[in-house]
Amino acid sequence: MNLTLKVWRQNGPQDKGRIETYPAAGIPEHCSFLEMLDIVNEKIINDGGEPIHFDHDCREGICGMCSLTINGVPHGQERGTTTCQVHMRKFRDGDTIWIEPFRAHAFPVIRDLIVDRNAFDRIVAAGGYIDVRTGSAVDANAIPIKKDDAESAFDAAACIGCGACVAACPNASAMLFVSAKVSHLAHLPQGQPEREKRALAMVRQMDSEGFGNCTNHYECEAACPKEISVDHIALLNRDYSKAVLAEQFV
């Protein structure tokens, strides 16, 4: 396949950035999107240029590191797919592909297509954990959990923290991410003692990081590579409201 790439290049956080054009010639249709960028980078390096910087780690849809906006959509058009799992056979010979970083005020560009997503780590550090001493692992059957709750917890736990929800939202809201982390623990017995405290701390940290509010566009759910439902946001809103009320009566 022969393609034309329009790629966002930015030397650092202070640089204005610009789109540059690169030919991507002789790309095998069975290679992945990131492998296609590897091929393009090899040519850039051989020609004495600076390779395109982009994030990746597992390349298996697990780690959440890859973070490209492909033709205006975080992780591209394919539903439930991370950038690293996008394959070139989904494009047509002669296509022009626009590649940009995940864009959000709270995700400043570090270089080219790499953004700083440490804000997510700080949100999790604010409350996305179990503080109680849990001891050694108990037998799985010792704490019965209803099937619906187990499935909801598992669905929420599938969040890989990639940030596509933020990049897709017109408000750059992190509500889907935060709600997945809160909901995961809220559906399990171990998450109950700190449930409200957790919602309060994580939402406050999210606000302080500069993420926007949720106004029900549902773009986050559409872009999420793990197809996490906005239903978790409803749970987060309930827990957060209860926590705010409880705080006022303490």
Q: Give the whole-angstrom CA distance, residue 123 versus residue 47.
A: 42
Interstrand relation of 3-9 and 96-101 (parallel, antiparallel or unpaired): parallel
Sign of the C-alpha dihedral computed for residues 192, 200, 216 and 229 taken in this order: negative
Give the distance between the most distant pair of CA atoms in the chain: 67
Q: Give the whole-angstrom CA distance, residue 208 versus residue 213.
A: 12
What are the residues whose beta carbons fall under 8 Å from the beta carbon of 91, sequence distance 6 or more?
1, 3, 97
- In the complex with ligand FES, which residue's Cβ is closer, 69 or 83? 83
User: In whole angstroms, how close is the CB of 75 to ligand FES at the nearest point?
Assistant: 9
- In the complex with ligand FES, which residue's Cβ is closer, 90 or 242? 90
Overall size of the chain counted in residues: 250
What is the three-class DSSP state of 197? Answer: helix
CA atoms within 13 A on the CB side of 108: 11
If one asks whether residue 56 binds ligand FES (CB under 6 A), the answer comes out as yes
If one asks whether residue 57 binds ligand FES (CB under 6 A), the answer comes out as yes
- In the complex with ligand FES, which residue's Cβ is closer, 31 or 130? 31
User: In whole angstroms, how close is the CB of 20 to ligand FES at the nearest point?
Assistant: 23
If one asks whether residue 158 binds ligand FES (CB under 6 A), the answer comes out as no
User: In whole angstroms, how close is the CB of 74 to ligand FES at the nearest point?
Assistant: 12
Work out the burial of residue 197: count CB atoms within 10 Å of its CB; fewer than 13 is exposed, 13-18 middle, 19 or more buried. Answer: middle
Q: Quick one: which segment of 46-54, 78-86, 107-115, 172-180 binds ligand FES (CB under 6 A)?
A: 78-86
If one asks whether residue 66 binds ligand FES (CB under 6 A), the answer comes out as yes
DSSP label of 96: E
User: In whole angstroms, how close is the CB of 193 to ligand FES at the nearest point?
Assistant: 32
Site string for ligand FES, 80-119 (x = CB under 6 A): --xxx-----------------------------------
- In the complex with ligand FES, which residue's Cβ is closer, 66 or 188? 66
If one asks whether residue 65 binds ligand FES (CB under 6 A), the answer comes out as yes
List phi, psi (to 5°) of 129: -155, 170
User: In whole angstroms, how close is the CB of 11 to ligand FES at the nearest point?
Assistant: 24
Where on the chain is the footprint of ligand FES (CB under 6 A)? 56-59, 61-66, 82-84
